[in-house]
Every structure is written in C-alpha cells, then in structure tokens.
Amino acid sequence: MAAKIKVCTFNLRINTSKDGINQYTNREGRILDVIKREMPDLIGFQEANDMMRDRLTDSLARDYAVFGCGREKDCTGESAAIAVRRGKFAVLSVDNFWLSFTPDVPGSTFGGDQSSCPRVTTCVRLRLLENGEYVRFCNTHLDHKGETARLLGIAAIMQYITKFEDRFILTGDFNARPESSVIADVKALTHCGRQIKEATETVPVTFHGYGNPESLRKIDYIFTDAEALPDEAYAVVEPPIDGIYVSDHHPVVAYIKL
C-alpha cells in the first residue's frame, strides 16, 4: 500500500550580521518552532553553515537525523543538509557530491559563469519502514549567478539520480523561475520510464526577501518521479514578529506517495 510522506524544502538564510535584526541567531527559535509544528518526514535545508548545521542537529536530535557536509575544500561552510524523521525510514547510504566536472573533489566548481561559491548536493538512500519502498532523497542549492552553471548543475544531479532505479525526491533552491530553462529541463525528463513531476507546482511564491514586495518570486522546488500531490502543496507563510522573519524564503511543503 502506498504511503503518503510530507516533504519540505527550506532555505534558512545564512547567518550574517548584514541582515541586522534578521540575523540567523535571532530567527533560530522561530525556525525550530515551524519545523516542530509542521513535522515533515523529510527536510532539505539550504544555506546551513557549520554552526547552523550543528545546532540543528542538536536541537532536532529527538525527531530527526541530519546529514550533509559543507561545500568548501575542507568540507566546511554552507551545506545542502538533509533531515530525516526518525522512526519513518531506514537510512541505507549517504552521498555528498559537488556540482562540477569533478564531483568527488570537495570545493570544485564548473567555472565559467559560476559564482565563486562551490555548490554541493547531499543525497540519502532510504527504505520507508511503513511499506518497504526505497527512495533516494536529494537536496541542492544551484548557483545564484550563472545560468550555464545552473543548467550544468541540474544535469549533474539528474545524471547521478538516473544511475539508480530507485524513485527519487529532489528538493532545493534552484535560483531559477518556473519559466526558466533549468526548470523546463527537469520537467522534460523521465526516469526509468516515470515522468518527473513538480510536487510544488501550485505554490506561486517561495522567496520574499524579508517581506520586500519587489523580491517576490518562486525559486524553491520539490520534484519527484513518484506520485506527487501538487494540490496539497503550500508555502508556510509566517508573518514577522517585531520585524523578525523566519527566513527570507518561505519553507515549502509537498506531499508525495511512495
């Protein structure tokens, strides 16, 4: 029997004093509140640095196992970390690879129009305890600067995914709007004869720039070749409290059947 799982993609916004009152340390409590209220089965985080990842690992330890490494040469720095809900899955393997022509080399990039930021993807192979189904859950953050880097990045991710027969779920901040070539390329693909679907296609806005009306756009997505339920997807819209937001992105939730 198919099991319905709840998946979230959540750009936390890196900890920086440039954000003033919205620095991560001021938002952390609200982030944890949202996670504990929503309780997704799988979460893909973006922009979690070492301190943020360590604190999430500790704060969520009762309910989640957290995986992922930093994107820099020494595997520190921002990550595309994954949280897997305890008691829901058996974790069978974990992979980290860089979006580059040398994916096994930490800190490597495509060069060209890519920013100076390396980009890493974290994937876990899971067995759903409820029914024994296997799924590969991947999380990424594509380049914010280069269109070619984004296209190469998504090609590298799909090349990895298609090496395996498992169904997959891919979350991330793609830094690409719905009409972009990056998103069109994903939707045009099939995997083991299964069409790839956007589970978040009904969500109109995912980035708000701390409430800036001129920043509103959709750049965060959840894709799968399993059964998606896009009519049930939503952005978790949290109003600011004393000017402090949860993040400059909305957490985005979708439901998938495995």
Cβ neighbors of 62 (< 8 A, separation 6 or more) are 86
Say how many C-beta atoms besides its own lie within 10 A of residue 130's C-beta.
14
> What percent of the chain clears pLDDT 90, i.e. is strictly above it?
100
Dig out the tokens for 217 from the structure. 């756009």
pTM over 0.95: yes
Beta strand residue intervals within 200-244, DSSP E: 220-224, 227-228, 234-235
Round to whole Å and give the CA distance between 225 and 237: 27
Q: Which amino acid is at 101?
A: F
Question: Residue 59: which H helix or E strand, with range?
Answer: helix 50-59
Q: Tell me, what CATH number does 147's domain have?
A: 3.60.10.10
Query: At residue 121, does pLDDT exceed 90?
Result: yes
Count of domains observed in the chain: 1
Q: Rounded mean pLDDT of 109-135? A: 98
pLDDT tens column, 95-119:
999 999 999 999 999 999 999 999 9
Query: At residue 136, does pLDDT exceed 90?
Result: yes
Residue 236, domain extent: 4-257
Q: Rounded mean pLDDT of 132-138? A: 98
User: What Cα–Cα distance (Å) separates residue 137 from each residue in 66, 67, 124, 169?
Assistant: 13, 11, 5, 5
pLDDT tens column, 140-166:
999 999 999 999 999 999 999 999 999
Per-residue pLDDT, 236:
98
Length of the chain: 258
Round to whole Å and give the CA distance between 183 and 219: 10
Round to whole Å and give the CA distance between 29 and 172: 22
Query: At residue 1, does pLDDT exceed 90?
Result: no
What's the distance, CA 104 to chain centroid? Answer: 20
> What percent of the chain clears pLDDT 70, i.e. is strictly above it?
100
pLDDT tens column, 178-229:
999 999 999 999 999 999 999 999 999 999 999 999 999 999 999 999 999 9
